[in-house]
Amino acid sequence: MRPWLFIILMSGCLGLTGCLERIVEPVDVFGNVQQGEPYSSASKMIDDWYAVEAIDEQTFAINEPKSSQYNTSYLIVGETRAIMFDAGSGERIPGSRSMREIAEQYTDKPITLILSHFHYDHIHDAATFDGVTLIDRPEIRTSVKSGVFTISPWESLDMEWRSLKVASIIPDGEVIDLGNRTLNIFNLPGHTTESVILLDKSRNQAFTGDFVYRHLGGIIAFAPGSDLVTYKANSTRLLQLTNSDTLFLGAHGIPQFAQDWLILLDNELDKIVRGDAEYRYAAHYLAPGLPWRVRQSGELYIYTTPLVDPSLFWSKWMLLALVIVSLLSLYLLQRLVYLARLPEK
Ligand SMILES: [Zn+2]
Q: How far is the CA of 279 from the centre of ligand 1 (A)?
A: 22
Q: How far is the CA of 117 from the centre of ligand 1 (A)?
A: 7
Residues 216-235, mean pLDDT to the nearest whole number: 95
Statement: residue 343 has pLDDT above 80: no
Percent of the chain with pLDDT over 90: 76
* Distances in whole angstroms, Cα of residue 169 to Cα of each of 141, 142, 182, 185, 303: 8, 12, 17, 11, 31
Q: Which residue blocks in 44-105 are alpha helix, DSSP H?
A: 99-103
**Rounded CA separation 61/82 (Å):** 13
Q: Residue 9: its pLDDT value, please?
A: 61
Q: Residue 8: its pLDDT value, please?
A: 61
Q: How far is the CA of 46 from the centre of ligand 1 (A)?
A: 26
Predicted TM-score (pTM) of this structure: 0.89
**SS3 of residue 201 by DSSP:** coil
CB-based contact 188:210 (threshold 8 Å):
no
Task: Name the pLDDT band for 319 (thresholds 50, 70, 90).
Answer: confident
CB-based contact 296:259 (threshold 8 Å):
no
Q: How far is the CA of 101 from the centre of ligand 1 (A)?
A: 23
Task: Name the pLDDT band for 337 (thresholds 50, 70, 90).
Answer: confident
**Identity of the amino acid at 343:** P
Residues 226-234, mean pLDDT to the nearest whole number: 98
Q: How far is the CA of 223 from the centre of ligand 1 (A)?
A: 8
* Distances in whole angstroms, Cα of residue 6 to Cα of each of 19, 322, 336, 345: 20, 21, 9, 20
Residues 129-152, mean pLDDT to the nearest whole number: 95
Q: How far is the CA of 331 from the centre of ligand 1 (A)?
A: 38
Q: How far is the CA of 250 from the centre of ligand 1 (A)?
A: 11
- 277 compared with 326, residue with greater pLDDT: 277
Statement: residue 306 has pLDDT above 80: yes
Q: How far is the CA of 191 from the centre of ligand 1 (A)?
A: 7
**Rounded CA separation 147/46 (Å):** 35
Statement: residue 313 has pLDDT above 80: yes
pLDDT per residue as tens digits for the range 5-54 = 655 665 565 456 556 788 888 788 888 888 999 999 999 999 999 999 99
- 176 compared with 285, residue with greater pLDDT: 176
Q: How far is the CA of 345 from the centre of ligand 1 (A)?
A: 59
pLDDT per residue as tens digits for the range 151-210 = 999 899 988 899 999 999 999 999 999 999 999 999 999 999 999 999 999 999 999 999
Q: How far is the CA of 140 from the centre of ligand 1 (A)?
A: 17
Q: Residue 188: its pLDDT value, please?
A: 98
Q: How far is the CA of 162 from the centre of ligand 1 (A)?
A: 16
**Rounded CA separation 108/93 (Å):** 25
Q: How far is the CA of 86 from the centre of ligand 1 (A)?
A: 11
Q: Which domains does the chain have, with CATH numbers?
A: 32-278 (3.60.15.10)
Q: How far is the CA of 298 from the centre of ligand 1 (A)?
A: 22
